[in-house]
């Protein structure tokens, strides 16, 4: 091996060792999953299939976090996190042409997360926080025609979540999680008697620690 290659190999090894020596106080996760919303009955409806049904839309999350309490080997470190969750296409259905065909939802809910046994290969965690959400309702009704209702609804959100991190190799972990974003309701043009709803996001993905 040439002197240049030997020197480069030594430098890379030293950089790798130095990087691993620094505490991994930050992380970012990328998740893909589905959002589940319970059916809502339309009050006073006289037509067949009078529930508003939700389609479990494909949903994405990016979540940076920073450790604010506890070390790498701490049993219960605390992190501040910023889950940003986008449900890109939540299809709707019911028996009459009254509601939007679909909506998109966006949730941003800063939270505190407590990891248990963070220094081990498997680490369960709980999260709690709050922020805001936005529903972007379709401008088209379910069976065609212009949606006469509002097409933008902003709401406060309370977030609670549980999950499990499993170390893979080095700075990478796998994560499975479930988060409940308790929010206001989108503009559906019908009375369901609901002022709040549970948006339950179930997902899996990758975490990078640095």
Instruction: State yes or no: pLDDT of 106 exceeds 70.
Output: yes
pLDDT of 8 over the 80 cut: no
Model confidence pLDDT, tens digit, residues 40-77: 999 999 999 999 999 999 999 999 999 998 876 677 89
Q: How confident is the model at residue 18 (pLDDT cuts 50, 70, 90)?
A: very low
pLDDT for the residue 119: 80
For residue 73, the model assigns a pLDDT of 65
Q: Does position 4 have pLDDT exceeding 50, yes or no? A: no
Beta strands in 16-138 (DSSP E): 26-36, 40-41, 51-54, 58-69, 78-81, 84-93, 102-108, 111-115, 122-137
- What class, spelled out in words, does domain 26-209 have in CATH? mainly beta
**pLDDT (0 to 100) of residue 72:** 62
114-138 pLDDT per residue, tens? 999 888 899 999 999 999 999 999 9
Contacts of 86 (CB under 8 A, 6+ apart): 59, 60, 61, 104, 105, 106, 107
> What's the mean pLDDT when you consider all of the chain?
90
Report the percentage of the chain scoring pLDDT > 90.
81
Instruction: Give the lowest-confidence range in 1-10, 131-140, 175-184.
Output: 1-10
Cα dist from 170 to 16, 19, 65, whole Å = 11, 11, 18
Each domain of the chain, given as residue ranges in start order, spans: 26-209
Provide the pLDDT for residue 118. Answer: 82
Model pTM? 0.86
Nearest CA to 61 out of 166, 138, 155, 176 is that of 176
């Amino acid at each position: 091996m040439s002197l240049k290659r030997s020197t480069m190999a030594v430098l890379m090894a030293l950089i790798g060792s130095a990087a691993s020596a620094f505490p991994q106080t930050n992380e970012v996760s990328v998740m893909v999953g589905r959002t589940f919303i319970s059916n809502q009955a339309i009050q006073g409806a006289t037509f067949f299939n009078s529930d508003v049904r939700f389609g479990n839309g494909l949903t994405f999350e990016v979540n940076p976090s920073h450790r604010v309490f506890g070390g790498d080997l701490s049993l219960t470190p605390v992190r501040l996190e910023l889950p940003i969750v986008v449900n890109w296409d939540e299809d709707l259905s019911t028996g009459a042409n009254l509601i939007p065909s679909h909506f998109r939802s966006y949730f941003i809910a800063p939270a505190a997360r407590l990891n248990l046994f963070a220094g081990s290969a498997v680490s369960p965690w709980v999260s709690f926080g709050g922020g805001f959400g936005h529903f972007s309702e379709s401008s088209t009704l379910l069976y065609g025609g212009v949606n006469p209702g509002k097409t933008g609804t902003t709401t406060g959100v309370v977030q609670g979540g549980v999950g499990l991190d499993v170390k893979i190799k080095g700075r990478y972990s796998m994560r499975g999680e479930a988060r409940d974003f308790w929010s206001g309701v989108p503009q559906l043009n019908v009375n369901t008697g609901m002022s709040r709803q549970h948006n339950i996001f179930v997902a899996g993905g990758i975490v990078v620690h640095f």
